[in-house]
Amino acid sequence: MRYKYYPNLIRYIRPRLKKKFPQAEPKQNRRNLPGHLLWMMAEMQTFDHSLNGSAKAGRWIGWIIAQAEHLELITEKQSRRLAKIDSHRGFI
């Protein structure tokens, strides 16, 4: 899958999420946090490239990062570095 929003962050978080939670499947269900995060990362790639789509992707990646940090999949320093790379490359 080609990621149009925050590809570096997603390519970092997604495999670590799958490794830590191998049974996780992408589903829209906040009670199943690993599956919900996988669903969100895939779903946000369907957003259009309008200002609204970009803004929504930004909100979603912020929530994904917060939950990934909570699950100890990524550190704050790593997430800031990857977000900066995505931002400089225009993937926001």
Question: What residue ranges do the domains of the chain occupy?
Answer: 7-88
Burial of 6 per CB tally in 10 Å (0-12, 13-18, 19+)? buried
The per-residue pLDDT for range 23-58, each reduced to its tens digit, is 999 999 989 999 999 999 999 999 988 888 889 999
Specify the pTM: 0.90
21, 25, 50, 57: CA torsion to nearest 10 = -20
